[in-house]
Amino acid sequence: MIAVPESKKSGVSRFRTKLLVAMMLVVSAITALALYLADHYLAAAAEQDLRREFQGEITALQNVQDLRHAALVELCRALVRRPRIHAALEDDALDLLYPSAKDELRDIMANDAEPGPAAYALHAEFYRFLDRAGAVIVGPNVNDVGRLRPEEESQLALAALPERQQLGYLVRHADGGGERLSEFIAMPIVSSETGEVIAAIVVGFKSAIFGDARGGAGIKRGLLLDGRLHLDAFAEAERAALAAEVMRAVAAAQGAPSSFGREIAGAPRLLFYKRLNPGSRFPPAFEVCVYPLAELRERQWHVRWQVLSAGGLLLLGGLAASNYLSTRLSRPVEKLAVDSAENLAQRVRAEAALELTSEELQRAARFSADASHQLKTPVTVLRAGLEELLAEQNLTAEEGNAISALIHQTYRLSGVIEDLLLLSRMDAGRLEIEFGAVNLTHLIEAAIDDLGAQPDAIELAVETDFPADLHVAGEKRYISLILQNLLENARKYNRPDGRVRIAAREAGGEILLTIGNTGRPIPPAAQARVFERFHRGEIGENVPGYGLGLNLARELARLHRGDLRLVRSADDWTEFEVRFRVAQPAVADLGSLS
């Protein structure tokens, strides 16, 4: 276990705090959203409920009204079928029209003797006949037909007789001031013989809409006629505003019934209007229902508070939960932090070791190069001195031999130094092969020539087996070096009257060069180590060399993307094999030309 540094610990706690804050933010945002949506939804639902309630009440009222209208219309329809009325109109007895009607309407006309709402339920207040032109036929006795002011009576007239019943509304001004509303039905009188409309009867009834206390639940009902709203519950200014509002809505909706919320005279109201006499030839009359929304607002506030407190609780719970969660979630992160600290430490150590190795390697290589370089000059100087000494005339043969041996040693030294230099360059990765096509045949021939030119030449039989013009990919000097080293070994470790065999052939994109020699084989135990640097075989005690040749040759072969291996070493025969890559033909041609 590696101790987590202090900075890591603070980092982990910072992470925990950040996580907590983020979670709280998310929880708060979600709560706020939920609150908003809930509030919105509940408010909408409450309004929807109220609207539905309102519509329900209105529908109920409308149904009552529709029933009443249907009853009134039926009453009128029965009336216009009465034979006496027909007789008066068709048999040219207009003088009998109103008297006949009086008889027929006796049960319908309101009886002043029995006042009260019941008297108005289906009782007529007035009636008039319209002639063929739609004008009012004046009755003989005003008291029988219901008293109307002249301007009121004129509103009953029509431009032409209607084909079917028409519903109209009339605001009547009582003598003592105040208004009351009448609704009247103009029912055409159709000749039973010809089917043509010959007259009409207008029967007026007290309207149930106006000033009726039945509109429960705070609903105020009134009538909008000729742009004026008749609704006692409101002051004049309010009524005017309401009327303007409804007229605007009527114009916008083209008279279709509708309900909408409006701020009227500082108070929110739900408004409903509906034309009472759609399609009528009488002026359009609208029923207007007003519902105060104060109660709804109150209800909405109540709900909103409930929602808010619920939201607060939710938020608290959410924050607690996020605290708990962030602690739990940051635990594995803490562990991860510890683990990563360990990993990091290990990696740092490994990197440091690697760097050290690399540096050491570099230094060694550099040292090797430097050393070789530094050594080359004195050796050259030494050789030059010795050669000068050898050139002296007065040397004895003994002295001459000794000096020659020394000079020979300087050559060996130079060779070692050269090899070391090359190896160190290779070790440092600074040796790059300039690939070209190299005529291996020529090189082998040259190497064989060199072999024969060695001063301590042993009598060796050289066997060759290679085709002419074998081209390998590589750099001439290094390939030559490989050949020299191998042939050198073949010569050095040979026995007297031994032989050397050099063979080369192309196989599968490679050129295999084998160099074999007679002589004591390399002991099996040492075979694995022949390519190690400064390794010398047991037999090599008396053989000149410094244990770099095979190593160098193998390194060079590998740089040429080939290899060098020991094929066999037993029974007086040791054979090495070098693999080269075949040079590309084009390049080969160039190489052969050069």
Partner 1 sequence: MKRFLAALVLLLPAIARAEITIEGRVALPKTHTAPVVNKRYEVVTKGGVVAISPPLAVVYLEGNFPRPATPPTAQLPQKDLAFVPSLLPIQVGTRVEFPNRDDVYHNIFSYSAPKRFDLGRYRADERPVPSEVFDVPGLVTLRCDIHEHMRGIILVLETPYFVVTDPDGNFRLSGLPAGRYRLKAWLSSKTTLDQPVELKADSALHVDFP
Instruction: Give contact residues for partner 1 (rule: CB under 8 A).
Output: 81-84, 86-88, 90-93, 96, 191-194
Give yes or no for a contact between 428 and 358, defined as CB atoms under 8 angstroms apart.
Answer: no
- Looking at the Cβ atoms of 103 and 339, the one nearer to partner 1 is 103
- Looking at the Cβ atoms of 146 and 188, the one nearer to partner 1 is 188
If we measure between CA atoms, which residue out of 393, 127, 157, 168 comes closest to residue 275?
Answer: 168
Smallest separation (angstroms) from partner 1 to the CB of 160 = 18
Beta strands in 254-359 (DSSP E): 258-264, 267-275, 285-292
Smallest separation (angstroms) from partner 1 to the CB of 181 = 33
Smallest separation (angstroms) from partner 1 to the CB of 98 = 13
- Looking at the Cβ atoms of 95 and 563, the one nearer to partner 1 is 95
DSSP line for 374-443: HHHHHHHHHHHHHHHHHT-TT--HHHHHHHHHHHHHHHHHHHHHHHHHHHHHHHTT------EEEEHHHH
Smallest separation (angstroms) from partner 1 to the CB of 89 = 9
Smallest separation (angstroms) from partner 1 to the CB of 72 = 21
- Looking at the Cβ atoms of 132 and 430, the one nearer to partner 1 is 132
Smallest separation (angstroms) from partner 1 to the CB of 261 = 52
- Looking at the Cβ atoms of 5 and 140, the one nearer to partner 1 is 140
- Looking at the Cβ atoms of 91 and 456, the one nearer to partner 1 is 91
Q: Which amino acid is at 489?
A: N
63 to 57, 258, 405: CA distances (angstroms): 10, 17, 142
List phi, psi (to 5°) of 498. Answer: -85, -175
- Looking at the Cβ atoms of 12 and 80, the one nearer to partner 1 is 80
Smallest separation (angstroms) from partner 1 to the CB of 71 = 21
Q: Which two tokens stand for residue 469?
A: 């013009």
List phi, psi (to 5°) of 537. Answer: -60, 160
Buried b (16+ CB within 10 A) or exposed e, 499-519: bbbbbbebeeebbbbbbbbbb
Q: DSSP code of 582?
A: B
HSE-up of 435 (CA within 13 Å, CB side)? 14
- Looking at the Cβ atoms of 193 and 432, the one nearer to partner 1 is 193
- Looking at the Cβ atoms of 77 and 302, the one nearer to partner 1 is 77
- Looking at the Cβ atoms of 102 and 536, the one nearer to partner 1 is 102
- Looking at the Cβ atoms of 86 and 383, the one nearer to partner 1 is 86
- Looking at the Cβ atoms of 188 and 549, the one nearer to partner 1 is 188
If we measure between CA atoms, which residue out of 502, 493, 498, 557 comes closest to residue 523?
Answer: 493
Smallest separation (angstroms) from partner 1 to the CB of 88 = 6
DSSP line for 461-497: EEEEE--S--EEEE-HHHHHHHHHHHHHHHHHT--TT
Smallest separation (angstroms) from partner 1 to the CB of 91 = 4
Rounded Cα distance, 231 and 228, in Å? 9
Give yes or no for a contact between 186 and 168, defined as CB atoms under 8 angstroms apart.
Answer: yes
- Give CA torsion, residues 29, 32, 37, 38, to 10 deg: 140
Smallest separation (angstroms) from partner 1 to the CB of 140 = 16
Sign of the alpha-carbon torsion through 404, 405, 408, 409: negative
Instruction: Give CA angle at 214 (208, 215), nearest 5°.
Output: 100
Smallest separation (angstroms) from partner 1 to the CB of 92 = 7
395 to 381, 382, 383, 408, 467: CA distances (angstroms): 21, 18, 17, 18, 50
Smallest separation (angstroms) from partner 1 to the CB of 244 = 49
- Looking at the Cβ atoms of 198 and 503, the one nearer to partner 1 is 198
Smallest separation (angstroms) from partner 1 to the CB of 48 = 53
Which residues are bridge partners to 563 per DSSP? 579
Q: Counting runs of H as helices and runs of E as strands, what totals does the chain give?
A: 14, 17
List phi, psi (to 5°) of 255. Answer: 85, -5
Give yes or no for a contact between 76 and 205, defined as CB atoms under 8 angstroms apart.
Answer: no
Residue with token string 């508070």:
305
- Looking at the Cβ atoms of 94 and 344, the one nearer to partner 1 is 94
Could you write out the three-class secondary structure of 181-204? EEEEEEEEEECCCCCCEEEEEEEE
- Looking at the Cβ atoms of 76 and 422, the one nearer to partner 1 is 76
Q: DSSP code of 5?
A: P
Smallest separation (angstroms) from partner 1 to the CB of 100 = 8
Count Cβ atoms below 10 Å from residue 573 Cβ, excluding itself. 16
Smallest separation (angstroms) from partner 1 to the CB of 83 = 5
